[in-house]
């Protein structure tokens, strides 16, 4: 079965960086884009960016450009999201999500369990 | 505007019908998808390509589209349907993905 398993909760100080991992299994790793979506406490979902695990190509939302880096290690079917220069506004649950292979649709059919990142001095 | 607007909350009695709207100019061009999110859980896809239902999603969930507004309908609401619901769209080119503001469904 398809699984996306994320790294655990972390606490960071303002100005630091965070790197969250998303280990996938149960499907062809290179056949689906992996996205990152975050959710601040009590707030809605915010799309951050994606990676194409097949070739490493990435794209990110304008809000995060310059601060986000999404990478992958194909030998272990794992995607990483690094966010730099953290502020308290980055306190959120970060989800990885698999994009469907449906060529006519761009939706997220499987999600990781979420990783809580708390930014506090 | 690229924003997707949803009502903050919808209240419904068990067995009744809940309708959640999602409005945005881009919806006339792209498919819409719907997710259910229960507290402390990851979102779950419940509708894709405006009105298709993934395997395992109950038939009481349905979607429809008309111009710049799409609607998620929950027929015969059950207590377990109490959750937040988000619409989402994308441009099909990998450059633009956006979620609606979310709607909290309360079952009275």
Q: Dump strand ranges (E) for A7-114.
A: 10-12, 18-25, 34-39, 45-51, 58-60, 68-73, 78-83, 92-99, 108-111
Please state, for a pLDDT cut of 90, what percent of chain B lies above it. Answer: 85
For residue range A47-80, list pLDDT tens digits in order.
Answer: 999 999 999 999 999 999 999 999 999 999 999 9
Tens digit of each residue's pLDDT (9 = 90 or more) over A25-51: 999 999 999 999 999 999 999 999 999
**What are the backbone dihedrals phi and psi of residue A107, each rounded to the nearest 5 degrees, phi first?**
-135, 170
* Residue found by looking up tokens 């909290």 in the block: B104
Q: How confident is the model at residue A106, as a pLDDT?
A: 87
Instruction: Dump the DSSP string for A49-63.
Output: EEE-TTT--EEE-GG
The residue written with tokens 């956006």 in the block is B98
Which residue has tokens 């992958």? A72
From chain B, the residues in CB contact with A113 under 8 A are 42
* A20 close to A94: Cβ distance less than 8 angstroms: yes
Residue window 34-93, chain B: list those with CB within 8 Å of chain A: 35, 37, 42-45, 48-49, 54, 86, 88, 90-92
Mean pLDDT of A5-16: 97
Q: What's the pLDDT at A93?
A: 98
Query: In chain B, which residue's Cα lies nearest the Cα of A60?
Result: B95
pLDDT digits (tens, 9 = 90+) for B59-69: 999 999 999 99
pLDDT digits (tens, 9 = 90+) for B1-47: 578 999 999 999 999 999 999 999 988 889 999 999 999 999 999 99
Distance CA B50, CA B31 (A): 6
Q: A101 pLDDT band (50/70/90 cuts)?
A: confident
Tell me the two tokens of residue A108: 């997220």
């Amino acid at each position: 079965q398809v699984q996306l398993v994320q790294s655990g909760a972390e606490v960071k100080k303002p100005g630091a960086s965070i790197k969250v991992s998303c280990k996938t299994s149960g499907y062809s790793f290179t056949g689906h884009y992996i996205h990152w979506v975050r959710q601040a406490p009590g707030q809605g979902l915010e799309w951050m960016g994606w990676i194409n695990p097949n070739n490493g190509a990435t794209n990110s939302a304008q809000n995060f450009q310059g601060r986000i880096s999404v990478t992958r290690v194909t030998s272990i079917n794992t995607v990483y999201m690094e966010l730099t220069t953290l502020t308290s506004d980055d306190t959120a649950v970060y989800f990885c999500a698999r994009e469907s292979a449906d060529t006519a649709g761009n939706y997220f059919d499987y999600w990781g369990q979420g990783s809580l990142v708390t930014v506090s001095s | 505007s690229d924003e997707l607007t949803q009502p903050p909350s919808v209240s419904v009695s068990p067995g009744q019908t809940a309708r959640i709207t999602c409005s945005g100019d881009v919806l006339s061009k792209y498919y819409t998808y719907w997710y259910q999110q229960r507290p402390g859980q990851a979102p779950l896809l419940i509708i894709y390509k405006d009105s298709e239902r993934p395997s395992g999603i109950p038939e009481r969930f349905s979607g429809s589209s008309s111009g710049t507004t799409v609607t998620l309908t929950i027929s015969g609401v059950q207590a377990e349907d109490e959750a937040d619901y988000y619409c989402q769209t994308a441009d099909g080119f990998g450059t633009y993905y956006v979620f609606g503001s979310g709607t909290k469904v309360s079952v009275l």
